[in-house]
Structure 1
Amino acid sequence: MPGPIFLEGEQVTLRAVQPEDYEFLVGNLNNPKLRHAGYETVRTPVTEDDIAAKIEVGNHHMFLVCQDGTPVGCASIKNIDLEGRKAELGYWITPDRQGNGCATEAADLCLTHAFDELGLHKVWGRTVGDNEASNRVLEKLGFQQEGVLREHWYGFGRYVDEYRYGLLKSER
């Protein structure tokens, strides 16, 4: 059962990731349908220890995205630089629950946390260039594309571009 609510939206809630959530996260991060849509760098199976290590770093706020109490994905503010007042946004929704706005709302809740609670100046995101759904999430939230790293990642037999997006607090 997911832990207590950290942030609540209209259709999703964000909850702090608990050890009992690791199995859900590992199962999805190792799913080829999810990895092939932007996790080209995941070349070895993700383990529960990998998840625990990310959470323990301290500059990574990872949330379980839940809909009606059921986990449907993950969203995070990571690489948090409090001195520079910036961080990276990350999110994914299970393949069977994509396309209904959960990623957009979860990412928006993360932005509330980043700008209003952490006091950040900028949040940036990156996508695999051909992941149009993820690009749309960022664009709906007001992110501006700041650059393209051409054929930056290799995985699953292909090179992919990395799109970089940024959003300033003043643009929200």
Structure 2
Amino acid sequence: MPGAIVKRGDRITLRTLEREDLDVLQRGAGDPEIRHLTGNSRVRTRDDLEEVFEDENVTILLVCLDDPGDPGPVEPETVRRVGVVNVKEWGRRPVVGIWLRPDVQGEGYGKEATALLVEYVFRAYETPTVRAKAFDYNESSRGLLESLGFQQEGCLRMDAFVDGEYRDGILYGLLREEWESSR
């Protein structure tokens, strides 16, 4: 059951992930298309996801559509859960990530969800910058990050073994003042 609202946009709402929502994580982590784009070749078990859920250095939020706007918990059937955004604390520079179900990709939800997440991070964390990573072959994610003002900062050569080959991870960064001046 989706939890409390963290941020609300024009078409989507970010809500806290509750233990009962781990099925959304498991379906996403088990979808070969999503795993390929996020660089996770290994299928995660429910126990793996429980560990991620319990990790104090990771904040996971549900990306929801059809939200009635009630700030508190809602009935699962009134909210369409279409993806996940997350923040991993990495020193003073949190790293953001996102995945959406394939049936809603390409409709602008990813950009809205990422923008809401960046806004949340700059309000919740005392950080000069937000980081993100996309794999070299993931043009959609790279384009999304660049459209929000993220700048390429580096390349992690042979960062992950995906579908039988090593792939590079492209690091992106967005400074707080860049974000604030673009709003």
User: Above 0.5 in TM-score?
Assistant: yes
Say whether residues 1:91 and 2:98 are aligned partners: yes
Q: Matched residue of 2:26: which SS?
A: helix
Unaligned runs of 5+ in 2: 67-78
Stretches of 4+ aligned residues off by more than 6 angstroms: none
Instruction: Give distance in 2, aligned partners of 1:50 and 1:151.
Output: 24
Cα-Cα RMSD:
1.4
In the TM superposition, what is the alpha-carbon distance from 1:170 to its structure 2 partner?
1.1
Residue pairs, 1:7-26, within 5 angstroms: 7-26=7-26
User: How far 1:80 moved relative to its partner?
Assistant: 4.5
Question: For residue 136 of structure 2, what is the amino acid of its counterpart?
Answer: G
Q: Which runs of 5+ in 1 are unaligned?
A: none
Distance 1:49 1:10 in 2: 35
Matched, 1:141 2:148: yes
* Structure 2 Cα separation of the partners of residues 116 and 6 of structure 1: 11
Aligned partners of 1:21 and 1:80: how far apart in 2?
A: 25
Distance 2:45 2:160 in 1: 22
Match of 2:133 in 1: 126
Match 1:54 to one of 28, 49, 52: 52
Secondary structure of the residue aligned to 1:89 is strand
Please give the secondary structure, in 2, of the residue aligned with 1:107. Answer: helix
The code of the aligned residue for 1:8 comes to: R
Query: How far apart, in 1, do the equivalents of 2:46 and 2:116 lie?
Result: 25
- If each structure's strand is expressed as a fraction of its own residues, which one has the higher value? 1
TM-score, normalisation: structure 2: 0.85
Map 1:4-83 onto structure 2 (within 5 A): 4-40=4-40, 42-43=41-42, 45-68=43-66, 69-81=79-91
Are the aligned partners of 2:96 and 2:132 in contact in 1 as well (CA < 8 Å)? yes
Matched residues in 2 for 1:19 and 1:38: separation? Answer: 22
TM-score, L = length of structure 1 = 0.90
Report the CA distance between 1:64 and its aligned residue.
0.6
State how far apart, in whole Å, the 1-side matches of 2:90 and 2:164 are.
Answer: 32
User: Which one has a larger percent helix, Structure 1 or Structure 2?
Assistant: 2
Aligned residues: 167
CA contact (8 A) 1:75 1:91 kept: yes
Deviation digits for residues 97-134 of structure 1 (CA, Å, limit 9, x no counterpart): 10011111111111111111222211101111110110
**Distance (whole Å) between structure 1 residues aligned to residue 124 and residue 156 of structure 2:** 31
